[in-house]
Structure 1
């Protein structure tokens, strides 16, 4: 179960970061714009990329073992960099998830295509899911349960973000709450980086 909880905490720490995707999802959900479609697209994309990340690194371990230490240390460096960024935001109080008040509600197929574009055309999604989550997951004792945990984190986050949007808007717009959240994220990512390194 340690691999499962590691996957869940790593996944949640990376997925919940403030970004264009989360702002768009919250904005659309506040307007009631096909929330189920948005959640399904985001969750399925994350799950697919997480699986590709974890198991592609495992294949590299089998085919090109010398690359494994390089990928591991690259993952450590990126985790520490993200931890530094979260700690800096917490210190400076620069966090808050702000959604637009006015949103044009479209048909569900157009919403699905837009959700796919915002998710898959965002370079950070590949860094977070394929590179970082994949690197950490590949060295776990149970990569399968790590993958399940990371996918569950995405499921929980996007379900909450779309289903509880009216209440979450107030909660997530608080800079103080985001400072606390960023501080916790910095600690978690630093701990995982150190564990991965040693």
Structure 2
């Protein structure tokens, strides 16, 4: 149980801060006509985190941090991606009735894949923090640790989706969502700059 609790606390610490993956899942809850229609984005994001956590626990961290060029390439590609996504979110114009702008299933899945697997900040956190922390456990304890991390990811993304759906009902003008988009874009650009500085 200690390993599972450790995994839960650690995963909460990594997933709580505002990031592009969280913003996207939240926005789908806010823009889809019904909350069930945001499931593709939410499930895809959760599956991607599950995939990254399992890879991190079972040795990906050793590979990434052993090769400096691999880490450099990953961060550089991610910085460019974050700059683009920040611009895209900044230019989004929420309306009172967002259902006309809701993403179809295919686009939800593709976008969720991109914000989950092309985000170097999330990958490095998962690989560096969860992967390293998992090294203290072996066998059954390592499994419990992994399950704890994964459970937090699934619960958090579904919570964000529901929170977005609730906001849509409260924000009938779309003004609050517009403010959140601007703040999210600034945060994403700040993350990109932070990562870029880390390369020098």
RMSD: 2.8
- In structure 1, the residue matched to 2:47 is 44
Residue correspondence of structure 1 range 46-65 to structure 2 within 5 A: 46-56=49-59
Assess, with a 3 A threshold, how the Cα gap between structure 1 residues 40 and 131 changes in structure 2: closer, same or farther: same
TM-superposed deviation, 1:19: 1.2
TM-score with structure 1 setting the length:
0.60
TM-superposed deviation, 1:139: 1.1
TM-score with structure 2 setting the length:
0.59
2:4 aligned with 1:7: no
TM-superposed deviation, 1:110: 1.2
- In structure 2, the residue matched to 1:96 is none
SS of the residue 2:103 aligns to = coil
SS of the residue 1:164 aligns to = helix
- In structure 1, the residue matched to 2:107 is 110
Higher helix fraction (1 or 2): 2
C-alpha distance in 2 between matches for 1:57 and 1:20: 23
Give the conservation status (yes or no) of the 8 Å contact 2:116–2:122: yes
TM-superposed deviation, 1:167: 3.5
Give the conservation status (yes or no) of the 8 Å contact 1:57–1:135: no
2:163 aligned with 1:164: yes
C-alpha distance in 2 between matches for 1:140 and 1:164: 35
SS of the residue 2:5 aligns to = helix
Assess, with a 3 A threshold, how the Cα gap between structure 1 residues 165 and 56 changes in structure 2: closer, same or farther: same
2:167 aligned with 1:131: no
TM-superposed deviation, 1:100: 7.0
Cα deviation per residue 1:83-107 (whole Å; 9 max; x = unaligned)?
A: xxxxxxxxxxxxxxxx974452121
